[in-house]
Amino acid sequence: MNKLHVAEMDEIAARHPEIFHRSFWSRFRVPLIVLGAVLYGVYCWWFFAVGAVLANANWSLAGTYLADWVSYEVRPEIRMDGHGTMQIVYPRFSPLGDNPNPDWLVAERETVTRTIETPAAARPAAPKSTTSFMAPGAALGGSAAAATGAPATETRSEEVVTRAEIAMGRSTHIEVLPGEVTVQHGGESLRATMSDGKVVPETGPLPRWAVQKRPGEKIILSFGMAGWAEIDATEVSIRKRFLGWANFIFDTRSPFFGRPAADVFALIAWGERIDPQRSNLSLAWNNILYNSEWQHLDVWTKLLQTIVMAFVGTVLATLVAFPLAFVAARNIARNRFFNQLTKRFFDFQRSVDMLIWALFFTRAFGPGPLAGMSAIFFTDTGTLGKLYSEALENIDDKQREGVKSVGAPSVAVQRFGVLPQVLPVFASQALYFWESNTRSATIIGAVGAGGIGLKLWEAMRTNSDWENVAYMVVLILIVVFIFDGISNALRSRLIGRSHH
Amino acid sequence: MAANTLPKDFSESGALIERHWQELAARRRVYSWLGLSLLVLALGGSLWFANETNAGKFFDRLPYLFDFVGDIIPRDGSEIFRALFDLPSPYDDGSFKYNYPEGRLYVTDSLYVPEYFYKMLETLNIAIFSTIVGTAIGFALCFLASRNLMPNWFVRGFVRRTMEILRAFPEVVLAGFFLAILSLGPLPAVIAVSIHTIGALGKLFFEVVENADMKAEEGLRAVGASWIERVWFAIVPQVLPNFISYFLLRLEINVRASTIIGAVGGGGIGELLRLSIGQNHEAKTLAIVLLLFCTIVAVDQLSAWARRRLVGDQAFQLAQ
């Protein structure tokens, strides 16, 4: 190929000045826009104090919360009772039920008989946190009665634990003896003694997975996904993490709890009635629906409310927007005043945020799906009406003229001259809104307008029910995907696959 | 036409055609009625269910429907503007209802920004910033998801599924999760809206890219351009107007979304609106509604004007 001479190149440049001498704006438009966006980003970084917020964020919580989505913890506590013995205590709502005896916790027990002198000492393992939390009255009553009693000696025999061994993972073991804890993790080991309210590590510097903030204070051990443990002066708290959702089908109060699946099926199919009032099947179903941790019935009802809100809101909006769009379209209703009135009405409904409608209707109807449905209905009437009237204004006039020319009345002109052109577009847009409302109805619910939104929000507020959040999110995703599929299939039938 | 005026005397094939047509028409009518009755049934069932599970019943509450209108009428019309501009109220009794000047945000000793304007700015910033972030990431991802630029089906499918999940994931959960970690403030809202925007815009973007004219790309491929060069010089100039149009459309949607996210704890004007409606502060409520209304109208008009300039009237297909 020949090389161009300089003169030829100049000539080409002179012939196409619009390419070689573009204006400043057209040459630097893209970098300028990007620069503007970056500068705006810097401004927002300052405005939202992003740096400070990120620095103060509780990132260790993030890991725990995320792990909570798909796993649960079992939390035994091994308490030193001051007599060279120990007790194993589970919180009241342990996922293992009222009588947990897991095989990963091996305890050596023996029965001791001892004489107890004062009432205060008679309650060596006075429940201080989780156990007393739910029944404060009972605990208080008990200790009050004991405190007023005369100091007397009492002999009682009780079962105590002298040694406990916990298998946290393949390479992680915790051995608890009275006043002494030995931990093996990842080939390293740690021995700590507890005495006089102090925890003292005995094996030199602490390994990486153990943290003691100040000498003598509690030691926190973290084993990653296997869980963590805390060695305090008087107790060792174990948090062993298990993958999965605990008690998803039957909660711990159910008679079916803890049985293997085959056993449950056998019981339902031909077992003796557990509750003489009703069959085992209905009992099991009832237990599932009213599972106290997962609240299946409530979650499903709320989810159905969300679906119903989106569906009814969209259908009603379509029904109202449809006739109004004919009034608003310039080429159909030849009345400037009514055109403008309807169009401004649509604009008004669109521009009042869905949030405002939702809050107002929550006040009018009380919390529930009626409020959310009305909010969606009001907002979408405006948007659909605007879209419909624009579609009507863009129709081909020839069909109308044809129908008019044979002397058809006005209604017939609309029915046979206009409707066949716009109906597929109308239906497709309504389906589209149905689909997108199914997605957005969740968040409307969070302000009280019914549906699963509020339930989600409440579950998140406690910061301990993330597994319930995960369950609801999975349900929502399934529903959204199914409805997306239905809506896409119907729409591609209506208007062809080319334009979604 | 002769055929139309001949209802009876058909030829043999004519009668066949007529019968066939009638069959088709009848089947079509049956399907239409079936679909319609299904819709009516579903609507009726839904309405019944909604009414049954609502706190107040529809017909019980209907007479009181407009009570809240009475609740939001302030003592006099100018109260709204006093609330809006943080001017002292003559009815001030020390309660939260009339303490308008307390929200003032002083820039200098005498110059202040009224509280609601500042909060509205916060909401707008949430919307704009998260739209920019979402657009930037969606832009980077969309080329990996389009069939004509990414022949590897695994990468394409992975990016598409990711976008679908980001789009369908409830924003309220994202906001709540980050609220738990980052503590109160607008940042959780920014993250939630951004993530949703990535999914929503990414889908629209890759559909545009798939419809792009590939001739320019072939030309660049012929002279040995790399993948990035082909995308940047052949595809991006074609799709940029559509991308910007979708960006503006998304901005409109995100202004609304960030208001709602604000109401569930994300800061901004939404939270103030929820509080003032909940506490019966009429003038404050109306001031916020007015401000929100004007802002949304302004954003919509601005964006519609910009889109019309960019891509003409075809920009007005709504999308989310």
Best probe of the A interface among B173, B190, B210, B232, by most A CBs < 10 A, is B173
Question: Contacts of residue B168 in chain A, CB cutoff 8 Å?
Answer: 439, 476-477, 480-481, 484
Best probe of the B interface among A390, A443, A473, by most B CBs < 10 A, is A443
pLDDT digits (tens, 9 = 90+) for A347-356: 888 888 888 8
User: What number is the average pLDDT over the span A230-252?
Assistant: 85
In this predicted structure, what is the pLDDT of residue B96?
76
Question: A37 and B170 in contact by Cβ < 8 A?
Answer: no
Query: Which residue's entry shows tokens 């006093």?
Result: B82
- Which of A44, A363, A442 is nearest residue B129 as measured by Cβ atoms? A44
In this structure, the answer to whether residues B156 and B232 fall within a common structural domain is yes
Q: Is residue B227 part of a domain?
A: yes
Query: Which residue's entry shows tokens 């044809």?
Result: A402
Taking the C-alpha atoms of residue B135 and residue B197, their distance in angstroms, rounded to an integer, is 7
Question: A443 and B170 in contact by Cβ < 8 A?
Answer: yes
User: What number is the average pLDDT over the span A24-32?
Assistant: 82
Alpha carbon distances (Å) from A421 to A8, A367, A385, A394: 57, 41, 17, 10
Higher local confidence (pLDDT), B188 or B86: B188
Phi, psi of A163, deg, nearest 5: -155, 135
Question: B50 and A446 in contact by Cβ < 8 A?
Answer: no
pLDDT of A373 strictly over 70: yes
Lookup: tokens for A206: 């602490």
In this structure, the answer to whether residues B19 and B125 fall within a common structural domain is no
pLDDT of A45 strictly over 80: yes
pLDDT digits (tens, 9 = 90+) for B65-124: 777 777 777 778 788 888 888 888 787 777 777 777 777 878 787 888 888 999 999 999
pLDDT of A122 strictly over 60: no
User: What number is the average pLDDT over the span A117-121?
Assistant: 52
Phi, psi of A111, deg, nearest 5: -100, 125
Q: Is residue B296 part of a domain?
A: yes
In this predicted structure, what is the pLDDT of residue A150?
52
pLDDT digits (tens, 9 = 90+) for A417-474: 888 888 888 988 899 898 889 888 888 888 888 889 888 988 888 888 888 999 999 9
Total structural domains in chain B? Answer: 2
pLDDT of A385 strictly over 80: yes
User: What number is the average pLDDT over the span B26-51?
Assistant: 92
In this structure, the answer to whether residues B57 and B135 fall within a common structural domain is no
| Lowest mean per-residue pLDDT among A197-201, A453-457, B314-318 | B314-318
User: What number is the average pLDDT over the span A74-92?
Assistant: 81
CATH for B246: 1.10.3720.10
Q: State what percent of residues in chain A have pLDDT above 70.
A: 90
Q: Which of A97-111, A154-168, A478-492 has the highest mean pLDDT?
A: A478-492
Does B183 lie at the interface with A, CB-CB under 8 angstroms? yes
Does B37 lie at the interface with A, CB-CB under 8 angstroms? no
Question: B185 and A53 in contact by Cβ < 8 A?
Answer: yes
Residue of A nearest to B176 (CA): A460
Sign for the pseudo-dihedral over CA of A7, A8, A9, A15 = positive
Q: Is residue B91 part of a domain?
A: no
pLDDT digits (tens, 9 = 90+) for A318-354: 999 999 999 999 888 888 899 999 999 998 888 888 8
Residue of B nearest to A349 (CA): B293
In this structure, the answer to whether residues B40 and B166 fall within a common structural domain is no
pLDDT digits (tens, 9 = 90+) for B124-181: 999 999 999 999 999 999 999 998 888 899 999 999 999 999 998 988 899 888 888 8
In this predicted structure, what is the pLDDT of residue A119?
52
Domain containing residue B49: 11-65
Question: A443 and B261 in contact by Cβ < 8 A?
Answer: yes
Higher local confidence (pLDDT), A473 or A277: A473
Question: A469 and B185 in contact by Cβ < 8 A?
Answer: no
User: What number is the average pLDDT over the span A374-403?
Assistant: 90
Does B60 lie at the interface with A, CB-CB under 8 angstroms? no
In this predicted structure, what is the pLDDT of residue A341?
92
A1 confidence band (pLDDT: 50, 70, 90): low
In this structure, the answer to whether residues B156 and B52 fall within a common structural domain is no
Beta-bridge partners for A166 = A105, A174
Lookup: tokens for B134: 């979402």
Taking the C-alpha atoms of residue B243 and residue A30, their distance in angstroms, rounded to an integer, is 13
Interface of B with A in 251-270 (CB under 8 A): 256-257, 259-261, 263-264, 270
Question: A56 and B270 in contact by Cβ < 8 A?
Answer: no
B21 confidence band (pLDDT: 50, 70, 90): very high
Lookup: tokens for A180: 């002494």
Query: Which residue's entry shows tokens 């049954």?
Result: B52
Q: How many CB pairs under 8 A join A and B?
A: 194
Whole-number mean pLDDT of chain A?
82
pLDDT of B5 strictly over 70: no
- Which of A443, A450, A481 is nearest residue B260 as measured by Cβ atoms? A443
pLDDT of A83 strictly over 80: no
SS (H, E, C) chain A: CCCCCHHHHHHHHHHCHHHHCCCHHHHHHHHHHHHHHHHHHHHHHHHCCHHHHHHHCCHHHHHHHHHHHHEEEECCEEEECCCCCEEEECCCCCCCCCCCCCCCEEEEEEEEEEEECCHHHHCCCCCCCHHHHCCHHHHHHHHHHHHHCCCCCEEEEEEEEEEEEEECCCCEEEEEECCEEEEEECCEEEEEEEECCEEEECCCCCCCCEEECCCECCEEEECHHHEEEEECCCEEEEEEEEECCCCCCCCCCCCCCCCCHHHHHHHHHHCCCCCCCCCHHHHHHHHHHCCCCCCHHHHHHHHHHHHHHHHHHHHHHHHHHHHHHHHHCCCCCCCHHHHHHHHHHHHHHHHCCHHHHHHHHHHHHCCCHHHHHHHHHHHHHHHHHHHHHHHHHCCCHHHHHHHHHCCCCHHHHHHHHHHHHHHHHHHHHHHHHHHHHHHHHHHHHHHHHCCHHHHHHHHHHCCCCHHHHHHHHHHHHHHHHHHHHHHHHHHHHHHCCCCC
Q: Is residue B32 part of a domain?
A: yes
Q: How far is B241 from chain A (nearest CA, A)?
A: 12
Which among B196, B200, B197, B208 has a CA at the least distance from the CA of B149?
Answer: B208
A121 confidence band (pLDDT: 50, 70, 90): very low
User: What number is the average pLDDT over the span A186-200?
Assistant: 82
Whole-number mean pLDDT of chain B?
86
pLDDT of A147 strictly over 50: no
In this predicted structure, what is the pLDDT of residue B7?
57
Lookup: tokens for A156: 């009682």
Does B132 lie at the interface with A, CB-CB under 8 angstroms? yes
In this structure, the answer to whether residues B274 and B133 fall within a common structural domain is yes
User: Structure pTM?
Assistant: 0.83
Tell the CATH superfamily of the A296-495 domain: MetI-like (1.10.3720.10)
A151 confidence band (pLDDT: 50, 70, 90): low
DSSP state of B71: H
pLDDT of A204 strictly over 50: yes
In this predicted structure, what is the pLDDT of residue A497?
53
In this structure, the answer to whether residues B185 and B59 fall within a common structural domain is no
Question: A387 and B129 in contact by Cβ < 8 A?
Answer: no
- Which of A369, A444, A473 is nearest residue B173 as measured by Cβ atoms? A473
Q: How far is B111 from chain A (nearest CA, A)?
A: 19
Interface of B with A in 206-245 (CB under 8 A): 207
Q: State what percent of residues in chain B have pLDDT above 70.
A: 95
Q: Is residue B97 part of a domain?
A: no
User: What number is the average pLDDT over the span B2-20?
Assistant: 73
Alpha carbon distances (Å) from A101 to A74, A238, A240, B189: 11, 14, 14, 44
In this predicted structure, what is the pLDDT of residue B199?
93
Q: How far is B171 from chain A (nearest CA, A)?
A: 7
In this predicted structure, what is the pLDDT of residue A225?
79
Q: How far is B117 from chain A (nearest CA, A)?
A: 15
Question: B264 and A457 in contact by Cβ < 8 A?
Answer: yes
Question: A368 and B169 in contact by Cβ < 8 A?
Answer: no
Which is it for strands A154-167 and A172-177: parallel, antiparallel or unpaired? antiparallel
Question: Contacts of residue A49 in chain B, CB cutoff 8 Å?
Answer: 185
Higher local confidence (pLDDT), A341 or A138: A341
Give the start-to-end residue ranges of the domains of chain A.
6-46, 71-134+156-243, 296-495
Asked if residue B265 lies in contact with residue B257, where contact means CB atoms within 8 angstroms, the answer is no
A152 confidence band (pLDDT: 50, 70, 90): low
Distance, C-alpha A208 to centroid of its chain: 33
Beta-bridge partners for A229 = A221, A238
Q: Is residue B265 part of a domain?
A: yes
In this predicted structure, what is the pLDDT of residue A184?
85
- Which of A356, A387, A442 is nearest residue B289 as measured by Cβ atoms? A356
In this predicted structure, what is the pLDDT of residue B312?
67
In this predicted structure, what is the pLDDT of residue A134?
38
Which residues have CB under 8 Å from A202's CB, separation 6+?
A191, A192, A193
Half-sphere exposure of A90 (CA within 13 A, CB side): 15
pLDDT of B26 strictly over 90: yes
pLDDT of A129 strictly over 70: no
Taking the C-alpha atoms of residue A294 and residue A9, their distance in angstroms, rounded to an integer, is 76
In this predicted structure, what is the pLDDT of residue A148?
47
Half-sphere exposure of B223 (CA within 13 A, CB side): 9
Work out the number of other CB atoms within 10 angstroms of the CB of residue A289: 14
pLDDT of B4 strictly over 60: no
